[in-house]
Amino acid sequence: MTPNPPPNVIPTPTLLPTLLSPLLPTLLPNFSLRTLNTFGIEAIADLYLPLRSVADLQSLHAALLADPALARLPRLILGGGSNLVLTGDFHGLVLHSCSSGIELVAQDDERTLVRAAAGVGWHELVSWTLQRELGGLENLSLIPGTVGAAPIQNIGAYGVEMERHFHALTAFDLERGILFTLDRAACRFGYRDSIFKHDWRDRAVIVDVTFTLPRRWQPDLRYAELATALAHIAAPTMQQVSAAVIAIRQRKLPDPAVIGNAGSFFKNPLVSRVQRDALLVQHPALISHDQPDGSAKLAAGWLIDQCGWKGRALGPAGVYHKQALVLVNLGGARGADVLQLARAIQADVLQRFGVQLEPEPTFI
């Protein structure tokens, strides 16, 4: 029989489940994360806890108060694992967002409010709204991951960012053990950015998100490729816009079920218009878009492509042959392989264009 550890000894993570079982009966030790990240990288988490309800979060908070060793462990809040790079085993506690449920909460002449639990699949929510003729999210069709992660980087695609239809969210503060709500202004959304990447990182677990969808829907076809795809239809429906977005995505982006990836690996860099204009002199084909704040956004995929990386590989990590901004797992890649490739790309782009690429996914 294993003796109880003396009180001044911090229990090792593998002992924690036994000690905490009354408070956290679903806590699991030594849990493989390979199928829980779309890169398909193998990594073991010391502890894994599924979160299905607010009651689960309250039990977790009680356990954190009761066990300082558990409270000191690093935490990873996990959704669909589609924006993560696991760089090694995770010696901490994985909190997996597994809640479900979508509901229509209010409707007036102007708008409909729809609330979804954090664990709902993002595309499941988009499909749910479109089935009920509630437009707004169609340009964001087929983005992998969960509803709860969507505000973290303010997901965006084909001319629309999530913040446009965001109303409010509920989150659980792991330090204080309370629920709180944040409106759009409080979330400080930016391009692939929000307050959750800064002040609230690893402390606030998003529980549900409410979206506001207009009653008088208009298609948003400002993204040139989408407009071209729908040019043959005079007045496309929201379902037709969604289908066109899905077709473009399936043509350009690898399906994580077939080839491991995390979508765009780098953000499109924002530079001053002066720097952009100087680059244009040397590289007249440079792709950029003026931003409302006076900066210019460069197409990182084009920069990487120009450096000759498209379709190339470094060991088991590679650059997707149809989209240079997407790094892929060619089979058995570890986090270190992906990092090595990412660093080589960053160095080439910096040397050739003087532009520093910043990764989009979270590194764990």
Which positions touch ligand EPU (CB under 6 A)? 157-158, 252, 263-264, 267-268, 287, 299, 301-302, 305, 310, 323-325, 360
Question: Active site residue: 141, 164, 334, 360, which one?
Answer: 360
Sheet with 90-97: strands ordered across: 28-32, 44-51, 90-97, 75-78
> Which 296-335 residues touch ligand FAD, going by CB under 6 A?
none
Q: State the catalytic residue, choosing from 242, 264, 288, 295.
A: 264
Measure the CA–CA gap between 168 and 126, rounded to whole angstroms: 17
**Structure-token pair, residue 167:** 């109303």
One residue of 49, 64, 116, 149 binding ligand FAD per CB under 6 A: 149
Q: Verify binding: residue 137, ligand FAD, rule CB under 6 A.
A: no
Angle value at C-alpha 335, between 330 and 336, nearest 5 degrees: 100
Q: How many residues does the chain have?
A: 364
- The span from the CA of 245 to the CA of 226, in Å, is 7
Q: Closest separation between CB of residue 91 and ligand FAD, Å?
A: 16
**Measured between alpha carbons, how far is 253 from 323 in angstroms, rounded to an integer?**
7
- Candidate residues 81, 135, 236, 301; the one interacting with ligand FAD per rule CB under 6 A: 81
Instruction: Report which residue type is found at 165.
Output: H
Amino acid at 199: D
For ligand FAD, the binding residues in 19-58 under the rule CB under 6 A are: 38
Chain positions 196 to 225 lying near ligand FAD, rule: CB under 6 A, are: 196, 205-206
How near is the Cβ of 139 to ligand EPU at its closest, in Å? 8
- Residue 50 DSSP one-character state: E
Least separation in angstroms between CB 10 and ligand EPU: 39
Tell me whether residue 264 is one of the annotated catalytic residues. Answer: yes
Confirm or reject binding of residue 77 to ligand FAD (CB under 6 A).
yes
Q: Find the binder of ligand FAD among 33, 43, 45, 82 (CB under 6 A).
A: 82
Residue carrying structure tokens 């120009």: 306
Catalytic annotation present for 334: no
- Among ligand FAD, ligand EPU, none, partner that 301 touches (CB below 5 to 8 angstroms by kind): ligand EPU
Which residues are paired to 271 by β-bridges?
296
Closest distance to ligand EPU from the beta carbon of 154 (Å):
10
Closer residue to ligand FAD (CB): 75 or 276: 75
The contacts of residue 144 (CB under 8 Å, 6+ apart) are 38, 80, 82, 122, 123, 256, 263
CA angle 220, 223, 229 (to 5 degrees): 90
Between 287 and 313, CB nearer to ligand EPU: 287
164 is catalytic: no
- Per partner kind, with CB cut-offs from 5 to 8 A, the member of ligand EPU, ligand FAD, none near residue 112 is none
Question: What Rg do the C-alpha atoms of the chain give, in angstroms?
Answer: 22
Q: What residues are annotated to the active site? A: 192, 264, 360
